[in-house]
Amino acid sequence: MPKIGYARISSSSQDLDIQISKLKNEGCDIIRSETGSGATRDGRTELGTILEFLRAGDELVVHRLDRLGRSTRDVLNLVHELDAKGAGLRVLEPEVTTAGDMGRMVITVLGMVADMELKFIRDRQRTGIDAAKKKGVYKGRRKTVDDEEIRCLVSKGISKAQVARDLGISRMSVYRALRSGFNESVRQPLSVT
């Protein structure tokens, strides 16, 4: 049974070495890794590649279930996709496999725990942000694109959605930049000649 390893970290400040080492020790023939959030499957191209090429009898191996996903629904959908292909899932810590009904039940429970853990992380983050705002310390994330650049592109007739895609920002950021430009022009005193 070919074993395909999948390793994931949430940010580039984390390290993949431990996961990759454990996957190699498990005998994974191929190991794919990536950096990205486990909250959703969006943007996780390496996982998509693995799922595309898994065949009947293959086994997807992950270090811990939360490396596969933090959403119970996503994890269960992945398990269902693997089942449909005739492939299996093995989690190394704690040792669980989808082979058999008990394994599926344990995967479901672990998926729920990962989902709940993500909710706790978000709650703690929100609490920290709220406390920082009350102290006047929190200013939000730094802008990656200058508002003037956004306004310039829109003034050239490029759609707001295209500007967002080209600059790698959300459409909401485009609207904020346009709104701030409008507010600044309204605040400026009119010169009388």
Is 13 part of the annotated catalytic residue set?
no
CA-based R_g, the chain, Å: 23
Q: Cα–Cα distances in Å, from 50 out to 75, 76, 83, 179?
A: 15, 16, 14, 43
Select which of 10, 33, 37, 180 is catalytic.
10
DSSP 7: E
Find tokens 């942000």 and name the residue.
129
Find tokens 């705002």 and name the residue.
133
Contacts of 154 by beta carbon, 8 Å cutoff, 6+ apart: 160, 163, 174, 178
Secondary structure class of 173 (helix, strand, coil) = helix
Instruction: Give buried/exposed letters for 153-184 (b at 16+ CB in 10 A, else e).
Output: bbeeeeebeebbeebebeeebbeebbeebeee
Which positions are annotated as active-site residues? 10
